């Protein structure tokens, strides 16, 4: 920035539209959905600003109708990845030196494109690719993505403004350089906003990126790339590649110029990537930054002072929205005996009213799980629960994959607080409940803390303030995002920075300046005004 200290627009959260019957947004998104669903597209890779069709393709189908094809996408060979790296490094020469306000303008424009002309398209794509209801698509693909883009620009300027003290003898300045080399973004299926944020926040800070989206999110990833193109992201700055994750990752991590991994996905994959980076460490020109937000086994604890209706609602919304496929979704709950009959009654009544089906039928609260692998895994855990003596299926438990990957919202009740579904991430619409003696609150909190390897989100519901304080202390390290009298899902950019520790990730808080700091390498510049000409200090006499 040469000629002014520019203020960026004040970031605000994109208002969530209602899509109630009769609203224009409902009509538009349904029309867009029908058009997209009933046609076929071909998704190229994006390398150096070019659309690359390799001829080797895979098909895309909605999870709620797996025999229906909405298009194909092109798969990379090793040489495409090598080209993506090479062109990213070439693009870096200009991009890393572009004044920040030019980068900011591109991503602010991207935000307004998503909020406006692309809103129906990115929501419809997310409904088709990931089987989200319109509400789930709106809060993710439209609003959260817009929020990331707007707030990141503000966070970037907050970071740039963080400068050291100076004196009349020397002026100290810090410049926040992009990382040397190129960065790698690996994104999960479940949030279009995360898919857009991981590559774009690194690019905003001046980095160049190779981005590998999830195979199950490519339809909506294409809309993200269309937005970035129209917003003016220059060729080579964000390159998108599809295909075999192992081949792509091996090629990227063996480059000496690899300088950062921005990952969101499962814990096992992230640990494997970390290990691979460690193995290659002697080859790199710089220590790579490693940021990973991974799995969760998120809890709801109710104290006997809690309102049972509030507990039941937190469970229904926390466990079953988007079929429980949120890293933050509640998947284990601890309910005191005195409260359980009322909580149970309310959960069962609510579940009766939940409709399951395709997302374009807006009476449905609940749609399909993402793919056959996930369906089979969940069905396996449900079957096992039907057999095991220490657990009972009290709601749901049916599944059917004849047309789409449908699994009923399922509630398990266990007498064993360490039952497998109390410990492992299933990533689907299954919650396990353990009922504890009312007076065993503190022991139960200890159990919550010790049961799972994860520490992403968790919630305590209580009206007794001492109980709230006890849980807040006891569960200090059990969740990176801790909710009091709320469900453990639904973090909003700029309001609840998101991330967890233990096996849940590096806790670099997406949706905050802390995350962006990982993508810069500060350089301190000290400029002395009157430079000494004699080495002797006064003490030398």
Strand blocks (E) in 39-113: 41-43, 45-47, 50-52, 57-60, 71-74
Tokens standing for residue 283: 């080859």
Closest CA to 195 of 173, 218, 179, 177: 218
| 405 in contact with ligand NAD (CB under 6 A) | no
Minimal CB distance to ligand NAD: which residue?
265
Whose Cβ is closer to ligand NAD: residue 47's or residue 343's?
A: 47
8, 28, 96, 269: residue in contact with ligand NAD (rule CB under 6 A): 269
- Burial class of 3 by CB neighbour count within 10 A (0 to 12, 13 to 18, 19+): exposed
Pairing of strands 457-461, 50-52: unpaired
Per the annotation, the verdict on 423 as an active-site residue is: no
303-332 footprint of ligand NAD as x/- string (CB under 6 A): ------------------------x-----
> 236, 295, 359, 458: which one contacts ligand NAD (CB under 6 A)?
295
* Ranges within 421-460 binding ligand NAD (CB under 6 A): 425, 427, 456
Closer of 340 and 381 to ligand NAD (Cβ):
381
Interacting residues with ligand NAD between 162 and 221 (CB under 6 A): 186-191, 194, 212-215
The residue range among 27-35, 71-79, 242-250, 298-306 that interacts with ligand NAD, by the rule CB under 6 A, is 242-250
Interface with ligand NAD by CB under 6 A: which range of 8-16, 259-267, 341-349, 525-533? 259-267
Q: What is the DSSP letter of 237?
A: S
Give yes or no for residue 49 binding ligand NAD (CB under 6 A).
no
Taking the complex as a whole, the smallest distance from the CB of residue 241 to ligand NAD amounts, in Å, to 11
* Cα–Cα separations (whole angstroms), residue 142 to 211, 215, 275: 20, 20, 35
Nearest to 101 by CA among 92, 93, 91, 109: 109
Report the candidate in 185, 151, 328, 324 with the shortest Cα–Cα distance to residue 264.
185
Strands 391-395 and 330-336: unpaired
Q: Which position among 14, 138, 144, 293 bears the catalytic label?
A: 293
CB of 277 to ligand NAD, least distance (A): 12
CA 511 to chain centre: 10
User: Quick one: which segment of 51-59, 92-100, 291-299, 308-316 binds ligand NAD (CB under 6 A)?
Assistant: 291-299
Q: Give whichever of 260 and 295 is closer to ligand NAD, judged by the CB atom.
A: 295
Q: Does 265 bind ligand NAD (CB under 6 A)?
A: yes
**Part in contact with ligand NAD (CB under 6 A); list of ranges 54-62, 84-92, 351-359, 497-505:** 497-505
Q: Which helix (H) or strand (E) holds 259?
A: strand 258-264
**Long-range residue pairs from 341-350, CB within 8 A, at least 24 positions apart, any chain:** 342/308, 342/309, 342/312, 343/302, 343/308, 343/311, 343/312, 343/315, 344/394, 346/308, 346/309, 346/312, 346/313, 347/312, 347/315, 347/316, 347/395, 347/411, 348/394, 348/395, 350/312, 350/313, 350/316
What's the longest Cα–Cα distance across the chain?
92
CB of 135 to ligand NAD, least distance (A): 18
Distance from C-alpha of 351 to C-alpha of 488, rounded to nearest angstrom? 19
Q: What six digits make up the tokens of 92?
A: 């870096």
Residues 13-42, one symbol each (x = binds ligand NAD by CB under 6 A, - = not), give ------------------------------
Residue 95: CB minimum distance to ligand NAD, A: 24
Closer residue to ligand NAD in complex, CB, 204/503: 503
Q: Is 533 exposed, middle or buried (0-12, 13-18, 19+ CB in 10 A)?
A: exposed
Find the shortest distance in angstroms from Cβ 400 to ligand NAD: 21
Least distance between ligand NAD and beta carbon 225 (Å): 15
Distance of CA 434 to the CA centre of its chain: 28
User: Which one of 63, 409, 505, 511 is in contact with ligand NAD (CB under 6 A)?
Assistant: 505
How many residues bind ligand NAD, per CB under 6 A? 30
Q: Shortest distance, CB of residue 20 to ligand NAD, whole angstroms?
A: 28
Closest CA to 384 of 342, 332, 432, 316: 432
- Mark 342-381 with x for binding to ligand NAD (rule: CB under 6 A) and - for no binding: ----------------------------------------
**Set 143, 144, 201, 327: catalytic member:** 327
Dist. CA 427–CA 297, nearest whole Å: 9
Q: Where are the alpha helices (DSSP H) in 407-462?
A: 420-423, 441-451
Measured from the CB atom, the residue of 120 and 378 that comes closer to ligand NAD is 378
Query: Nearer to ligand NAD by C-beta: 100 or 191?
Result: 191
Residues 112, 227, 201, 234: is their CA dihedral positive or negative?
negative
Instruction: Assess whether 327 carries a catalytic annotation.
Output: yes
211: nearest Cα among 188, 180, 234: 188
User: Which residues contact ligand NAD (rule: CB under 6 A)?
Assistant: 186-191, 194, 212-215, 245-246, 249, 264-266, 269, 272, 293-296, 327, 425, 427, 456, 498, 504-505
Which residues are tagged catalytic?
Answer: 293, 327
């Amino acid at each position: 920035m040469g000629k002014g200290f520019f203020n960026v627009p004040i970031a605000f959260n994109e208002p969530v539209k209602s899509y109630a019957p009769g609203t224009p947004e409902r009509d538009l998104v349904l029309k867009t959905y029908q058009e997209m669903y009933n046609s076929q597209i071909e998704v190229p890779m994006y390398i150096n600003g070019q659309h690359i069709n390799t001829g080797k393709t895979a098909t895309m189908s909605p999870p709620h109708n797996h025999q229906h094809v909405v298009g194909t996408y092109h798969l990379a060979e090793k040489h495409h990845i090598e080209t993506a790296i090479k062109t990213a490094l070439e693009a870096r020469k200009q991009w890393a030196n572009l004044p920040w306000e030019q980068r900011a303008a591109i991503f602010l424009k991207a935000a307004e494109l998503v909020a406006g002309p692309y809103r129906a398209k990115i929501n419809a794509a997310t409904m088709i690719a990931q089987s989200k209801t319109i509400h789930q698509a709106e809060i993710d693909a439209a609003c959260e993505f817009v929020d990331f883009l707007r707030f990141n620009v503000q966070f970037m300027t907050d970071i740039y403004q963080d400068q050291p003290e100076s004196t009349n003898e020397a002026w100290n300045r810090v410049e926040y350089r992009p990382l040397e080399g190129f960065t790698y973004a690996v994104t999960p299926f479940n949030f279009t906003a995360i898919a857009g944020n991981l590559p774009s926040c690194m690019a905003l800070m001046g980095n160049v990126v190779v981005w590998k989206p999830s195979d199950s999110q490519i339809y909506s990833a294409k809309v993200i790339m269309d937005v970035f193109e129209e917003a003016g992201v220059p060729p080579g700055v964000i390159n998108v590649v599809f295909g075999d994750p192992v081949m792509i990752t091996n090629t990227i991590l063996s480059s000496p110029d690899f300088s950062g991994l921005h990952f969101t996905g499962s814990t096992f994959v992230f640990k494997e990537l970390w290990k691979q980076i460690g193995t290659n460490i002697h080859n790199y020109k710089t220590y790579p930054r490693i940021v990973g937000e991974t799995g969760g086994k998120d809890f709801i604890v109710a104290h006997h002072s809690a309102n049972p209706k509030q507990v039941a609602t937190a469970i229904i919304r926390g466990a079953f929205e988007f079929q429980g496929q949120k890293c933050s979704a509640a998947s284990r709950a601890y309910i005191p005996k005195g409260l359980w009959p009322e909580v149970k009654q309310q959960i069962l009544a609510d579940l009766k009213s939940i409709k399951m089906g395709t997302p374009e039928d807006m009476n449905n609260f609940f749609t399909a799980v993402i793919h056959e692998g996930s369906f089979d895994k969940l069905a396996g855990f449900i079957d096992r629960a039907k057999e095991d003596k220490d657990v009972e299926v009290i709601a749901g438990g049916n599944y059917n994959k004849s047309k789409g990957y449908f699994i009923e919202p399922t509630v398990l009740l266990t007498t064993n607080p360490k039952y497998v579904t109390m410990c492992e991430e299933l990533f689907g619409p299954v919650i396990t409940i353990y009922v504890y003696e009312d007076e065993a609150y503190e022991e139960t909190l200890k159990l919550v803390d010790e049961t799972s390897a994860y520490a992403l989100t968790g919630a305590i519901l209580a009206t007794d303030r001492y109980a709230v304080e006890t849980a807040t202390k006891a569960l200090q390290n059990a969740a990176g995002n801790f909710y009091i009298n709320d469900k453990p899902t639904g973090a909003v950019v700029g309001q609840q920075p998101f991330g967890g520790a233990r096996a849940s990730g590096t806790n670099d808080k997406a949706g905050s300046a802390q995350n962006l700091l990982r993508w810069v390498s500060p350089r301190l510049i000290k400029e002395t005004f009157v430079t000494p000409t004699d080495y002797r200090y006064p003490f030398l006499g």
